Structure 1
């Protein structure tokens, strides 16, 4: 995320934290303020009463951003990015042009289990590299 977004998140976190921690209700308020409310799935995932420090909260926001990008690339919504999905994204959503063979090579390098597809975990490893 960009630096100004980091500062905005930090300020919103401070508005809702108690002793350096934020609870689920605080996370709901911050994500609403960021105009990115929690999904039903995220709501259920966070209902265990856990609290987060800012580092954990920031990781949560990063994971959400990565998942949103992954879902945009996963055109057939099967939970995997295929060579075709990536080819469409890189060839039509970018000024940089790749051949189909280059996309196949990229997927092969990133594909951790050799099934010819990128899982969310493969995608995150690529982003973190």
Structure 2
């Protein structure tokens, strides 16, 4: 059964903190370790026995105080979004406007007799 064990430990000193994390991570069944240096707490989540975690912490030479043992908090649920009502959009012309029409459509020239002359333009 997955449990969350919260311990209060003196976390001063980088070397001592590394030793403590290495010792706790060596306990069988530890899934996740969270350190809160501001509060001086360590939260261990997993199947590990809290007694084993405390024993390992004391072997490192740290005084440990058990704050709580219990089930881990449930992951936060995202609120379901209500489907938005679609607003009636004004009808647009079916004609698509092309930003560069000279590249897609034939160019029409008028000759001297006002007859259309279809030509090709390459730029």
Normalising by structure 2, we get a TM-score of 0.28
Say which structure is richer in helix. 1
Say which structure is richer in strand. 2
Structure with the greater alpha carbon radius of gyration: 2
Normalising by structure 1, we get a TM-score of 0.27
Greater RCO between the two (CA within 8 Å, min separation 6)?
Answer: 2
